Amino acid sequence: MAEIVLFHHAQGLTSGVHGFAERLRGAGHRVHVPDLYEGRVFDDLDAGVDHAREVGFDVVAGRGRAAAEALGEELVYIGMSLGVIPAQELAQTRPGARGALLLYSCVPTSEFGDGRWPAGVPVQVHGKEGDPSFAEEGDIDAARELVASTDDAELFVYPGDQHLFADSSLPAYDQQAAELLEERVLAFLDRVDAAPPA
């Protein structure tokens, strides 16, 4: 069993985020899903991003750090888009990280800690080849640099242009891509669970 902290995307804790967490639990994992928006959920991605901007991205990330600090150290961090910020920061800087799954986004490793991905922490990045947020705003380049910098990193690029494509509650949902993403995530978690702590 992997212990996971799952950070939601900019639209908040949607039913699709909860559903994803439940499927991970159904596979035998323990999943914590902190609410970085204190109960707010948005029907529109732009409105969610505006809310994060208004609250402050640093405040949102700080809520994620606080949620993780309340748990043990040997965690897998999963971030969905906006949630990649706290997930990636914690995976890079907090001792004991078992792995990271970065969905829909990736931040340059230079943004956190000493700028290097930690040895012994496996990571996957998932995004769509035509998603403007992923393919045109530097995320895919950051993901390629991350993969080139460590032996235990994978980048999975899916056809299409949807951003939050694995959230079954949103119009961007792509069932085929979402099922493949979930299959890869579960296989990753099984490998992490089987591996001894670094």
Q: So where are the chain's domains? A: 3-194
According to CATH, what is the number of the domain 3-194?
3.40.50.1820
pLDDT tier at 72 (50, 70, 90 boundaries)?
A: confident
- Quote the pLDDT of residue 193: 81
Q: Please report, rounded to a whole number, the percentage of residues in the chain having pLDDT higher than 70.
A: 99
Query: pTM, whole model, 2 decimals?
Result: 0.95
SS3 per-residue string spanning 131-164:
CHHHHCCCHHHHHHHHHHHCCCEEEEEECCCCCC
Residue 52: how many CB atoms within 10 A of its CB? 23
- Quote the pLDDT of residue 198: 61
Query: What is the residue type of 104?
Result: Y
- Quote the pLDDT of residue 160: 97
Return the closest-CA partner of residue 2 out of 195, 156, 198, 151.
195
HSE (CB half, 13 Å, CA atoms) of 133?
Answer: 19
pLDDT tier at 121 (50, 70, 90 boundaries)?
A: very high
The C-alpha R_g of the chain, in whole angstroms, comes to 15
Query: pLDDT for 150-195, tens place per residue?
Result: 999 999 999 999 999 999 999 999 999 999 999 999 999 999 987 7
Cα 51 from Cα 10, distance rounded (Å) = 8
Cα 121 from Cα 139, distance rounded (Å) = 20
pLDDT (average), residues 147-152:
94
Sheet of 99-103, strands arranged across: 30-32, 3-7, 76-80, 99-103, 123-128, 153-158
